[in-house]
Amino acid sequence: MGLRLSLLGTTRQRRLAPGLESLGLGSVWDLLTWYPRRYLDREKVTTISELVAGRESMILVTVSSVRSVPGMKGRKARVEVKVLDAEGVSLQCVFFNQTWRERQLRAGTDMTISGKMEFFRRQRQMVNPVVDLVGRSQASIPIYPQSARSGLTSEDFALMVDEALRRCSTRGIADPVPRQTLDRLSLCSRWDAFVNIHTSHDVQERERARKRLVFDELLRMQLALAVRREEARSLGSVQHSIPKGLLVQFRVSLPFEFTKAQEKATGEILGDMARNEPMQRLLHGEVGSGKTVVALAAMLVAAGGGHQAALMAPTEVLAEQHFANLTDLLSGGLARGFGGGAQAAGGRGLQTARWGVNLDLLTGRSRPEARRRVISGLASGEVDMVVGTHALIAEGVEFRSLGLAVIDEQHRFGVEQRAALRSKSASGAPPDVLVMTATPIPRTTAMTVYGDLDVSRLDEMPKGRPGVTTKAIWTLNEVGEVWEHLRREVEAGRQAYVVCPVISESDTLETAAAEKVHAALEGDQLSGLRLGLLHGRVRAAERERVMREFREGRLAVMVATTMIEVGVDVPNATVMVILGADRFGIAQLHQLRGRVGRGDHRGCCYLVSGDPVTGLGLGLVPLDSSTGNPRIEALVQHSDGFELAEIDLELRGEGTLMSERQTGSSDLRLASLRRDFEWVKHARDVAQDLVRNGPLPDALRDELDACVSAGEAEFLEKA
């Protein structure tokens, strides 16, 4: 698998080597797994006469003539290339500032061109089309992924692949998947898969090849997760006794009944905690679906058995909100609003004889004396349950016996930060880990990225929630109606949020935008109303004051950045106005929308699209109503977060699974989590069976070591 590329004559090899290196292709294996992204059938290609002006198309053509035109009087130099299709119809390709095209595109060269055809002086023309040189021999032409910097064409790749397969034909290619597994799943051999994916002209043969190679990619990922999971199980863990009486009393003390989804999730979590192996479970669901009370039940079990439980949140706002809610739940009520803020700021823990636990808070802004007391209490075991931020994993913080680590909004933490909390127990036994997120996760993603986690899903909302109406705002007239509705809600005694848009990745620019919007609204559209301002640069004391006034109803409108995305719970708020909504992702918009409609009145969320820099006095030039945005349209049409998660996956792509990058091109070269859900399940089942019935066959272990680096496997396991 590590054979170096030495497939072509020396002169050609020297020419191709830099391009191969730029694409990260350094071995025969790399080359054979550089799969075609599509195929072009010479007999079924679009002809020039069939092209539609303004529509993106790809056609197969032959170069007829090439002419270079130098730039004069400020004009760009250009290369004009006349091309013909199989019917003899011509089209002009114009390349600006690409003088090297004259050397590349000689008369008689076959190539595909991709771009938009337009008419110029009654002649068909493409400007700066994407060019891919192809050979003449094949009836079906494989088109390979490439980049401009590599300088490699599909013809180059086809020649190299042919040579690699020819040289491998005598010795064969290792196929480590057990024969019985391939037969059971009706999969072809790896050799047939490589040959057919690259060279076959038969669509069905290529699809059979694709299935086998998709399975291989997914199996390697699932094996990496299964091996790590099995290693963790072998370490043992804290084995909790489940005090039935305590849980019954706790449930009776609550002012609401569990949903069926909460019942099911709690049972799954407590079942894991009773076993002598570390729990690794993901709990995900909608904003307001009741994850916190499920986590608290598990925390009470850990504390009731003489161990400790920690809940780590990504922000101080969210940590303080959790502390307030847990305090109220343990007191027999449910926190409404940002309750407990003063207590949280002072760092005074909750001691309750009723449950026999001591709950405390530790964040970066805990006062020095409170910080010392909490750290001492964690080390001695006096503090049974703690809520905190990154401060929980700071140097010097140790637990006497950490039995349960709950990590909220887990995607907001770095991999190492999440792992650090698990290593904080002086007892040496790995704690059970429960990760929570209010972002519903697509099933395919949960089975791959979270393949080593058991998944509990809260897909049922508590009874009585009034819900939220979502409206897209595209024109200036509609914006005026938004402010009128907001005023009517405030006059009726309710409150509202105005969220300022994301501007690049700059906290400074977002702060400036929030201040500008606050000033503009206060002086015009919302004049006479009491407005608060909240952004990342507001000092802690000022932030607490603003939140307290908003919670108590003394502020009518909160103008804020996305720091209110999680952790701010004011049931009296019924209006959410999101400015520059087209700059947000689906998950973030859904999270923000979940801040309203949490009380007795139905909420309304306005998604205002536009440029957040100029115009309208508050930085908005809304888009024309004919300009759609699929993310915004999805939010308007759907309220179910799980359904939106699937749509989001479809729109954004899968992102990378083996590293920190979250969106963009996938590091799966062929498999698609969306299209290949069936094979995700097959690969997971096979991987778990192979690991449980271990040891792995040597060939499969060697392939796993070669294809999934230690760093990638560690990332998957920690994530």
Give the model confidence (pLDDT) of 305-324 as tens digits: 889 999 999 888 788 888 98
pLDDT at 438 over 50: yes
What pLDDT does residue 656 have?
A: 47
Give the single-character DSSP code of 582. Answer: G
Q: What is the mean pLDDT of residues 550-566?
A: 84
Cα separation, 570 vs 335, in Å, equals 10
pLDDT at 337 over 50: no
Q: Which residues contact 153 (CB under 8 A, 6 or more apart)?
A: 132, 133, 134, 146
Output the CA torsion sign for 379, 385, 386, 392. positive
What pLDDT does residue 716 have?
A: 52
What pLDDT does residue 347 have?
A: 46
Cα separation, 677 vs 683, in Å, equals 10
Higher pLDDT, 666 or 27: 27
Q: 562: closest CA among 594, 530, 524?
A: 594
Amino acid at residue number 74: G
What pLDDT does residue 418 have?
A: 64
pLDDT at 114 over 90: no
**Could you tell me what percentage of the chain is helix, strand and coil, using 3-state DSSP and rounding each to the nearest 5?**
40, 20, 40
Query: Coil, strand, or helix at residue 480?
Result: helix
Q: What is the mean pLDDT of residues 61-65?
A: 93
Q: What is the mean pLDDT of residues 378-404?
A: 93
pLDDT at 451 over 70: no
Cα separation, 610 vs 453, in Å, equals 40
What angle (nearest 5°) sits at the alpha carbon of residue 341, between those of residues 252 and 424?
Answer: 75
Peptide bond just before 630 cis, omega within 30 deg: no
Q: 95: closest CA among 115, 119, 121, 73?
A: 115
Q: Using H for helix, E for strand and C for coil, what is the string for 419-468?
A: HHHHCCECCCCCCEEEEEECCCCCHHHHHHCCCCCEEEEECCCCCCCCCE
What pLDDT does residue 277 have?
A: 84
Buried b (16+ CB within 10 A) or exposed e, 389-403: bbbbbeeebebbbbb
What pLDDT does residue 154 have?
A: 81
* pLDDT tens digits for range 206-249: 999 999 999 999 999 888 888 877 776 777 678 888 777 778 88
Q: What is the mean pLDDT of residues 77-98?
A: 92
Average pLDDT, the chain: 81
Q: Yes or no: say if 262 and 458 are a contact pair by the CB < 8 Å rule.
A: yes
What pLDDT does residue 566 have?
A: 56
What pLDDT does residue 667 have?
A: 55
Give the single-character DSSP code of 77. Answer: P
Buried b (16+ CB within 10 A) or exposed e, 170-190: eeebebbbeeeebeebebbbb
Higher pLDDT, 286 or 263: 263
Max mean pLDDT range (329-333, 345-349, 378-382, 456-460): 378-382
Exposure of 425 in the CB half-sphere (CA atoms within 13 A): 21
What pLDDT does residue 240 have?
A: 86
Q: What is the largest CA-CA distance in the chain?
A: 90
pLDDT at 616 over 60: no
What pLDDT does residue 430 have?
A: 83
Give the single-character DSSP code of 234. Answer: H
* pLDDT tens digits for range 179-197: 999 999 999 999 999 999 9
What pLDDT does residue 380 have?
A: 94
Q: Of 2.40.50.140, 1.10.760.10, 3.30.420.10, 2.40.50.100, which CATH number belongs to 40-142? A: 2.40.50.140
Domain boundaries of the chain, sorted by first residue: 1-37+144-172, 40-142, 244-274+290-437, 468-638
What pLDDT does residue 143 have?
A: 83
Cα separation, 474 vs 623, in Å, equals 5
Least confident of 66-75, 127-136, 149-158, 657-666: 657-666
Cα separation, 342 vs 339, in Å, equals 8
Q: How confident is the model at residue 5 (pLDDT cuts 50, 70, 90)?
A: low
What pLDDT does residue 690 have?
A: 92
Higher pLDDT, 581 or 212: 212
Q: How confident is the model at residue 658 (pLDDT cuts 50, 70, 90)?
A: very low
Under CATH, domain 244-274+290-437 is a member of which superfamily? Answer: P-loop containing nucleotide triphosphate hydrolases (3.40.50.300)
Q: 560: closest CA among 542, 582, 586, 587?
A: 542
* Same fold for the pair 244-274+290-437 and 468-638: yes
Cross-strand partners of 95: 79
Q: Yes or no: say if 78 and 95 are a contact pair by the CB < 8 Å rule.
A: yes
Asked if CATH classification 3.40.50.300 holds for the domain at 468-638, the reply, yes or no, is yes
Cα separation, 351 vs 331, in Å, equals 10
* pLDDT tens digits for range 267-279: 999 999 998 888 8
Higher pLDDT, 512 or 131: 131
Q: Which residues contact 20 (CB under 8 A, 6 or more apart)?
A: 5, 26, 31, 150, 152
What pLDDT does residue 491 have?
A: 95
What pLDDT does residue 345 have?
A: 39
- Phi first, then psi: give them for residue 558, nearest 5 degrees: -105, 115
What pLDDT does residue 659 have?
A: 42
